Chain A
Amino acid sequence: MKLAGNDMLIQSLIEEGVEYIFGYPGGAALHIYDSIFKQKEMEHILVRHEQGATHAADGYARATGKPGVVLVTSGPGATNAITGIATAFMDSIPMIVISGQVAKHLIGTDAFQETDMIGVSRPIVKHSFTVDSAENIPEIVKQAFYIATSGRPGPVVIDVPKDTTAPDKLFEFKYPNKVDIRSYKPPIEPDPKQIERAVDAIIESKKPVIYAGGGAINSNASEELRRLNEILDFPVTNTLMGLGVYPATHERFLGMLGMHGTYQANMSMHNADLIIAIGARFDDRITNTPKLFAPNAKIIHLDVDYSSVSKIIEANIAVFGQVKNSLKEMIKLLEAKKELIDSKKIIPWKKQISDWKSQHGLNHEMHLCETDEQPIMPQAVVQHIYNITKGKAFITSDVGQHQMFAAQYYHFDEPRKWINSGGLGTMGFGLPAAMGAKLAYPDDEVICITGEGSIQMCIQELSTCTQYNLPIKIININNEALGMVKQWQDMNYGGRHSASTYQSSLPNFVELAESYGHVGIKIEKNSELKSGLEKALSIKDRLVFVDVYVDPNEHVYPMLVAPNGSLKDMWLDKETKT
């Protein structure tokens, strides 16, 4: 088959099984857009801003585990995509970003819409390619997908000079069926010696905690983790990125840990004698002051990325490999050594943990308040959504207090249902990410829990939802402020709210949503909360924007005391420190 560069590029994406490509056209990408027009296998989703394209592709990738694909033009198209690429990079999300580029003979001349995309994106990609010649397109695409999805996943940029996609030069097209990159061999199977050491440490432990993160989700290791813990029955905590990898409604689940983790999760980590880290990277939001982190714990660290292990917290036992495979091997060995596991040994530890939980666990009954004398509590909004959807919805989120309330109070029993920007903390992520998830799972409920600050960072995508009829639900937890910023100002800056409020400049969100052709609902009273949310979620064929006015003075707790605190040092409410 003979094809031109533009058709080879699109045909290569089709060979990779791409269903959706999120993008925005422009001069340098027009040959490619013409190829998109001519085919039917893939649907192009025209966003309203390139940041939206990257987050939508990212949301699709997080929901499905398949790479998200983005197409943008050179210059401003490419730079607009940067925030979304960085977001995917920080959370290890597989993504392919194809950026148009000026023709090769113009590179370096400051041509119209020329930006050094490879240079600009270098620190925030797993790898990048420049198409030097049209003939190499199939090989480059094959390698790009392999790199993006294998090992520790991440975004890969393919920069495509316009002349390499010219429609008038034809080349023999054959999509490679194998890929081998001699300088890139991510670990797959763990070292059996390390598995043995890990299992021995597990058998000896009296105060163990399993700490699982986003890497366990990326590796699709949820089932293995559950099986492992059927044998061990250890307490389990998840990072913000790991929520859902272990069922939140399981008796052994401690809740999220870290900055806004539960009291019992943080106390368990601090006092543990063994921490089994699974696809988690001891981020500073988890460890608090590294020197004070879990002083008595031995650390077993399972990860696919060598550079994540012993980076912040020294691992006593490092297990490199796909964590799914490492867990399988651990399960096998534990089953063989079953008679050595003494489950009685950890009974006092479990008792201690359940005491912590009953002392300062989260209040799960805030949704019961129906009196209109009191303002709506943001936590209650999430609790109602959880109850109405029976915990089965995809929830995307933005960044701020609402994100933490969603993480704390929506209990995820399955992986990939909680979609949020954990590493970069990108406001504006939630709405486009919900679009990606909804395209992937049109029959599932997809809800974006957002704040009035974050939603305005990509609100233009409401128009995309109209064009492609994406009936997602947006729950705007409206505290009329950049709440998380304001909380820090309350706690650390004497309540001086510098640039964290809007002075009555907020739009009428209901009318705004309606002007895009969506349904808008406003909720201001506790007595309307449950019925209003029920109504919104009963509308299946329309996008519904629910603007809920909540208590503007509420803070997120627990909150780690920083700097110089450990995981046991928490604010439990505005007055109380541990």
Chain B
Amino acid sequence: MIQRKLSVILENKPGALVRVVGLFHQRGYNIESLHVDPVEDLNEYRFVEEKLNINLKEGEVSHLIIATTVNDNLLRQILRQINKLIDVLMAEEIK
């Protein structure tokens, strides 16, 4: 098992972050590090707009980076669980 970094784009709404973080505990996964910022410079996030066919505004979404140590199967499961959260726009592994 190796450490992986997950990138999660979610709505910058009260309660959205804790749903992602809570999920790790509920499903028995461990968080090794966590970093979150509201997205101010949208230029780096055009791919999100393209993929979901939406327009983002400054500060409207947050970018969360989580490090965790899991195998491939579990990683896929975690990503699917995170993506299922209503406030999450996108979750993927940072390669």
Q: Which residues of A contact B (CB under 8 A)?
A: 118-119, 122-123, 126-128, 130, 147, 181-184, 305-307, 310-311
8 A/B residue pairs, CB under 8 Å, sorted by A: A126-B86, A130-B15, A182-B52, A182-B54, A183-B89, A306-B84, A307-B84, A310-B76
- Determine the distance from Cα of A122 to Cα of B52 in the docked complex, in whole angstroms: 26
Q: Is B80 an interface residue (CB 8 A)?
A: yes
- With a cutoff of 8 Å between Cβ atoms, the chain B residues found around residue A126 in the complex are 86
Question: Which of B18-26, B29-37, B38-46, B63-71 contacts the other chain?
Answer: B18-26
Q: Which 4 A-B pairs have the closest CB atoms?
A: A307-B80, A127-B86, A306-B80, A183-B89
State the Cβ distance, A62 to closest chain B Cβ, in Å.
22
Q: Is B14 an interface residue (CB 8 A)?
A: yes
- With a cutoff of 8 Å between Cβ atoms, the chain A residues found around residue B84 in the complex are 305-307
Of all chain A residues, the one with the shortest Cβ separation from B76 is: A310
Q: Are the CB atoms of B89 and A123 closer together than 8 Å?
A: no
- Determine the distance from Cα of A306 to Cα of B80 in the docked complex, in whole angstroms: 6
State the Cβ distance, A150 to closest chain B Cβ, in Å.
11
Of all chain A residues, the one with the shortest Cβ separation from B19 is: A122
Q: Which residues of B contact A (CB under 8 A)?
A: 10-11, 14-15, 18-19, 22, 26, 52, 54, 73, 76-77, 80-81, 83-84, 86-89
Q: Are the CB atoms of B86 and A122 closer together than 8 Å?
A: no
Q: Are the CB atoms of A118 and B15 closer together than 8 Å?
A: yes
Q: Are the CB atoms of A123 and B26 closer together than 8 Å?
A: yes
Q: Are the CB atoms of B14 and A130 closer together than 8 Å?
A: yes
State the Cβ distance, A303 to closest chain B Cβ, in Å.
11
**14 more CB-based (< 8 A) A-B contacts, given A130-B14, A306-B83:** A122-B18, A122-B19, A122-B22, A123-B22, A128-B15, A130-B15, A181-B86, A183-B10, A183-B11, A183-B88, A183-B89, A305-B84, A307-B81, A311-B77
- With a cutoff of 8 Å between Cβ atoms, the chain A residues found around residue B76 in the complex are 310
Q: Are the CB atoms of B86 and A183 closer together than 8 Å?
A: yes
- With a cutoff of 8 Å between Cβ atoms, the chain B residues found around residue A128 in the complex are 15
- With a cutoff of 8 Å between Cβ atoms, the chain A residues found around residue B14 in the complex are 130
Name, among A119, A126, A184, A307, the residue most crowded by chain B CB atoms within 10 Å (CB to CB). A307
Q: Are the CB atoms of A147 and B22 closer together than 8 Å?
A: no
State the Cβ distance, B25 to closest chain A Cβ, in Å.
9
State the Cβ distance, A82 to closest chain B Cβ, in Å.
15
- Determine the distance from Cα of A307 to Cα of B23 in the docked complex, in whole angstroms: 13
Of all chain B residues, the one with the shortest Cβ separation from A128 is: B15
- With a cutoff of 8 Å between Cβ atoms, the chain A residues found around residue B87 in the complex are 183
- Determine the distance from Cα of A432 to Cα of B18 in the docked complex, in whole angstroms: 33
Name, among B10, B15, B81, B88, the residue most crowded by chain A CB atoms within 10 Å (CB to CB). B15
Name, among B14, B77, B86, the residue most crowded by chain A CB atoms within 10 Å (CB to CB). B86
Of all chain B residues, the one with the shortest Cβ separation from A181 is: B86
- With a cutoff of 8 Å between Cβ atoms, the chain B residues found around residue A123 in the complex are 22, 26
Given A130-B14, A306-B80, also A147-B89 (CB < 8 A): no
- Determine the distance from Cα of A183 to Cα of B8 in the docked complex, in whole angstroms: 12
State the Cβ distance, A210 to closest chain B Cβ, in Å.
25
State the Cβ distance, B76 to closest chain A Cβ, in Å.
7
State the Cβ distance, A122 to closest chain B Cβ, in Å.
6
Of all chain A residues, the one with the shortest Cβ separation from B52 is: A182
State the Cβ distance, B15 to closest chain A Cβ, in Å.
6
| Partner among A118, A184, A310 whose Cβ is within 8 Å of the Cβ of B86 | A184
Of all chain A residues, the one with the shortest Cβ separation from B73 is: A310
Of all chain A residues, the one with the shortest Cβ separation from B78 is: A307
- With a cutoff of 8 Å between Cβ atoms, the chain B residues found around residue A306 in the complex are 80, 83-84
- Determine the distance from Cα of A307 to Cα of B18 in the docked complex, in whole angstroms: 19
- With a cutoff of 8 Å between Cβ atoms, the chain A residues found around residue B81 in the complex are 307
- With a cutoff of 8 Å between Cβ atoms, the chain A residues found around residue B54 in the complex are 182
- With a cutoff of 8 Å between Cβ atoms, the chain A residues found around residue B15 in the complex are 118, 128, 130
Q: Are the CB atoms of A147 and B86 closer together than 8 Å?
A: yes
- With a cutoff of 8 Å between Cβ atoms, the chain B residues found around residue A183 in the complex are 10-11, 86-89
- With a cutoff of 8 Å between Cβ atoms, the chain A residues found around residue B83 in the complex are 306-307
Of all chain B residues, the one with the shortest Cβ separation from A306 is: B80
Given A130-B14, A306-B84, also A182-B89 (CB < 8 A): yes
- Determine the distance from Cα of A311 to Cα of B73 in the docked complex, in whole angstroms: 8
- Determine the distance from Cα of A571 to Cα of B49 in the docked complex, in whole angstroms: 56
State the Cβ distance, A397 to closest chain B Cβ, in Å.
28
State the Cβ distance, A157 to closest chain B Cβ, in Å.
11
- With a cutoff of 8 Å between Cβ atoms, the chain B residues found around residue A307 in the complex are 77, 80-81, 83-84
- Determine the distance from Cα of A184 to Cα of B83 in the docked complex, in whole angstroms: 9
- Determine the distance from Cα of A119 to Cα of B22 in the docked complex, in whole angstroms: 10
- Determine the distance from Cα of A302 to Cα of B22 in the docked complex, in whole angstroms: 28
Of all chain B residues, the one with the shortest Cβ separation from A127 is: B86
State the Cβ distance, B16 to closest chain A Cβ, in Å.
9
- Determine the distance from Cα of A184 to Cα of B90 in the docked complex, in whole angstroms: 10
- With a cutoff of 8 Å between Cβ atoms, the chain A residues found around residue B73 in the complex are 310
State the Cβ distance, B61 to closest chain A Cβ, in Å.
9
State the Cβ distance, A315 to closest chain B Cβ, in Å.
12
- With a cutoff of 8 Å between Cβ atoms, the chain A residues found around residue B88 in the complex are 183
- With a cutoff of 8 Å between Cβ atoms, the chain A residues found around residue B11 in the complex are 183
- With a cutoff of 8 Å between Cβ atoms, the chain B residues found around residue A184 in the complex are 86
- With a cutoff of 8 Å between Cβ atoms, the chain B residues found around residue A118 in the complex are 15
State the Cβ distance, A65 to closest chain B Cβ, in Å.
21
- Determine the distance from Cα of A311 to Cα of B69 in the docked complex, in whole angstroms: 18
State the Cβ distance, A125 to closest chain B Cβ, in Å.
10
- With a cutoff of 8 Å between Cβ atoms, the chain B residues found around residue A311 in the complex are 77
- Determine the distance from Cα of A183 to Cα of B77 in the docked complex, in whole angstroms: 19
State the Cβ distance, B13 to closest chain A Cβ, in Å.
10
- Determine the distance from Cα of A130 to Cα of B22 in the docked complex, in whole angstroms: 18
- Determine the distance from Cα of A182 to Cα of B83 in the docked complex, in whole angstroms: 13
Of all chain A residues, the one with the shortest Cβ separation from B25 is: A123
- Determine the distance from Cα of A128 to Cα of B22 in the docked complex, in whole angstroms: 14
- With a cutoff of 8 Å between Cβ atoms, the chain B residues found around residue A181 in the complex are 86
Of all chain A residues, the one with the shortest Cβ separation from B61 is: A183
- With a cutoff of 8 Å between Cβ atoms, the chain B residues found around residue A130 in the complex are 14-15
